[in-house]
Amino acid sequence: MAGGGFTLPKARPNGPPYFSRNQIASVLHQVAVLLELNGANVFRVRSYQNASRMLGGLTEDLGELVATGRLFEMKGIGKGLGSALTQAIGEGRWPSDWVDLHEQTPKGLIEMLGIPGLGPKRIKLMNEELGVDSVATLKQVALDGLIAPMKGFGEKSQQRMLNGIELLARFRARRRLDVGLMYGEAFQTKIATLDGVIKAQLAGSARRRKETIGDLDLVVAVESENHEMVSQAILGLPGIADVKGAGDSKISIILDTSVFEGGFTVGHIDPNVLDAIGGEDYEQLESSGTIDAQVRLVPPEVFPFTLAYFTGSKEHNIAMRQRAIDRGLKLNEFGLIPDAKAGDLKGMAAAKFSLHATNEEEIYRHLDLEWVTPELREDTGEIVAAESSALPTLLTGKDIRGALHNHTTLSDGEATLEQMADTARKMGWNWLGVADHSPTLKIANGASAEDLLQQGATIREYNTAWANEGVDFRLFHGVESDILEDGKLDHPDDVLGELDYTVASVHAISKWKARDEVQNTEELMRCLDHPSTTILGHPTGRILQGRDGYEVDLFAVLEYMAEQNDDGHLKAVELNASPYRLDLDWRLCKHAKGLGVPIIINPDAHSIRGLADISYGVMAARKGWIESPNVLNSLSGEELSRRLA
């Protein structure tokens, strides 16, 4: 698969202009890269790069520039390039030498461009000197140590390539939920506004809020007579890097970042996290990233069945289908069809005999079930619960009144205490806790005891002032303490005693990863024994798409915490809401809930924008069957203050 859409976009149906400014700029850039890969003269390469930059930054209408011929008067647009662009923009045809360039450049070389930090010049060199012609062969020669001795390369760049190859593979396989949702929602919005589209909805793992997404599934309701028109219009939408297959009812495509109208930025990332997901290479990986999508067009009366089927999970579907069989019905993506009527008919032909359903609720009702929210469709007990009116009343964003693990400029946060408090109030929160890093964590500018206590004094002043003004909002003061040797905390007891709470987290990941499960589990328990430890922060240290967590028996840890809570000590487990973490895993939330261990959903915000990550935590909590009373976030400031006392 090509990286970052190394294909020529299809002309939109109703030009001119047949291509957008962004499309033209990115094609010019592609042509430059391909020319360089093919060893073209550097001046030629540069002229395409310059034209790409110039046209990309233009505010004028491209169609106008072509129609009036003014394009030819622009600096850097020679006769050749001017005619090529005139033909593309005015007639919707790419020049044949650009098409040849795209078709004749070996796919393996293009694939290598996706490796972070690797450009066309070096790819060409390795191709000529070592015969490298794909990511796979590159990996082999790097492992054989053949790259390091090459002039201008060396040991370090050889290692960097190996790291890059690994990152790329991980990145291509699945994408994080936040990224998948961004692509999915952007494309869904575009489809929803097309003529003839009645409804467009995201299905699959994205709708179920899985922590990572393999591919996107979209279901679109369109009257049968409009299928062809709508499917053509979808293929003309911006954001499509490649078409893998296209019929009137099923379209298989690859989306790239051009789906985002306002461009694509990754935002501020906590340095600990960034390190695990590729460091400075991460941004390049993300901006040249792609995601596969399957779009299905169905008539409106079939839509609920198709939506339910492609929402999955596969396991949930299998259980549902069995339930249908038990009732003499056949459930599939086209309908819920009585055996007696369908006979040997298949697909849409059988769908004519389907029981009627205008929405998913009615499908579930036909099977004597309450509607199951998509997050729960994993066949982990939801069907039994839906049968007996025992489905949980899941937590929602509205239940959230505050969060306890957030950073300010005192450690590695971007925003001041005041900015964070302001934003929390604007979000409608009743309280906010700040827990800056402790001194041991140098990379995160861990704060000294003195600075920490000063922050506490400031917080008390604000709280007093708000109370006097009758403002129902308060700050809680905590620390995110590193868990040190033998489970010790990172401040003396008298300092910790001054705080409202302590989030204890592991940051020395490589040390913890080098040890076994028993030792790690015991150290976490030792740390929980400390009377000041209130919250176990990001309990496994995993970074999605970055690294696995350290080995730990979280079942045992949660059981231990349950006993401590029974003895009257508040010990809460964090569900870190950063979409890079989502740690506690949703699969363990249900277990914590069963044991009665309180959960606290924390955005671990390092900026005001980071506070909004709470929504991913709520998604994961819902997926883990969590209800409002199971989280500390739903308490009022006053109630929480009592619990922390």
Residues that bind ligand DGT (CB under 6 A): 204-205, 210, 213-215, 217, 309-310, 312-314, 317-318
Q: How far apart are CA 636 and CA 191, in angstroms?
A: 42
Nearest to 293 by CA among 375, 199, 191: 191
Contact 20, 236 (CB under 8 A): no
- Residue 204 lies near Ca ion (rule: CB under 5 A): yes
Q: How far apart are CA 4 and CA 34, in angstroms?
A: 13
Q: Which single residue is written with the structure tokens 């590729």?
A: 278
Could you list the beta-strand ranges (E) of 267-384.
Answer: 290-298, 329-332, 335-338
Q: How far apart are CA 42 and CA 134, in angstroms?
A: 24
- Residue 184 lies near Ca ion (rule: CB under 5 A): no
Instruction: Name the residue with the smallest CB distance to Zn ion.
Output: 604
Report the residue number, 226 or 633, with the smaller CB distance to Zn ion: 633
The nearest distance, CB 407 to Zn ion, in angstroms, is 6
- Among ligand DGT, Zn ion, Ca ion, none, the one that 281 touches (CB under a kind-dependent 5 to 8 A) is none
The nearest distance, CB 294 to ligand DGT, in angstroms, is 7
| Out of 333, 480, 523, 574, the residue judged to bind Zn ion by CB under 5 A | 480
β-pairing verdict for 240-246 and 431-437: unpaired
Candidate segments 278-286, 512-520, 524-532, 596-604, binder of Zn ion by CB under 5 A: 596-604
The nearest distance, CB 222 to Ca ion, in angstroms, is 21
Instruction: Name the residue with the smallest CB distance to ligand DGT.
Output: 312
Report the residue number, 205 or 532, with the smaller CB distance to ligand DGT: 205
As given in the structure block, the two tokens for residue 548 are: 């696995």
Report the residue number, 215 or 604, with the smaller CB distance to Zn ion: 604
The footprint of Zn ion on residues 42-81 (CB under 5 A) is: none
Distance of CA 193 to the CA centre of its chain: 24
- Among Ca ion, ligand DGT, Zn ion, none, the one that 318 touches (CB under a kind-dependent 5 to 8 A) is ligand DGT
Phi first, then psi: what are they for 531, rounded to 5°? -60, -25
Contact 391, 385 (CB under 8 A): yes
Q: How far apart are CA 57 and CA 21, in angstroms?
A: 9
Contact 533, 523 (CB under 8 A): no
Report the residue number, 232 or 249, with the smaller CB distance to ligand DGT: 249
What is the total residue count of the chain? 645
Angle at 91 between CA 235 and CA 100, to 5 degrees: 75
How does DSSP classify residue 582?
Answer: -
Bridge partners, residue 201, by sequence? 219
The footprint of Ca ion on residues 210-239 (CB under 5 A) is: 215, 217
Candidate segments 52-60, 138-146, 478-486, 629-637, binder of Zn ion by CB under 5 A: 478-486
Report the residue number, 360 or 480, with the smaller CB distance to Zn ion: 480
- Among Zn ion, ligand DGT, Ca ion, none, the one that 602 touches (CB under a kind-dependent 5 to 8 A) is none
Report the residue number, 211 or 523, with the smaller CB distance to ligand DGT: 211
Instruction: Name the residue with the smallest CB distance to Ca ion.
Output: 204
Candidate segments 306-314, 380-388, 474-482, 557-565, binder of Zn ion by CB under 5 A: 474-482
The nearest distance, CB 123 to ligand DGT, in angstroms, is 31
- Among ligand DGT, Zn ion, Ca ion, none, the one that 314 touches (CB under a kind-dependent 5 to 8 A) is ligand DGT
Phi first, then psi: what are they for 263, rounded to 5°? 80, -175
Q: CB-based burial of residue 284 (10 Å sphere; 0-12 exposed, 13-18 middle, 19+ buried)?
A: middle
The nearest distance, CB 489 to Zn ion, in angstroms, is 15
- Residue 613 lies near Ca ion (rule: CB under 5 A): no
Bridge partners, residue 200, by sequence? 220
Q: How far apart are CA 599 and CA 616, in angstroms?
A: 15
- Residue 375 lies near Ca ion (rule: CB under 5 A): no
Report the residue number, 172 or 491, with the smaller CB distance to ligand DGT: 172
As given in the structure block, the two tokens for residue 288 are: 């040249």
- Residues of this chain that interact with Ca ion (CB under 5 A) are 204, 215, 217
- Residues of this chain that interact with Zn ion (CB under 5 A) are 480, 604
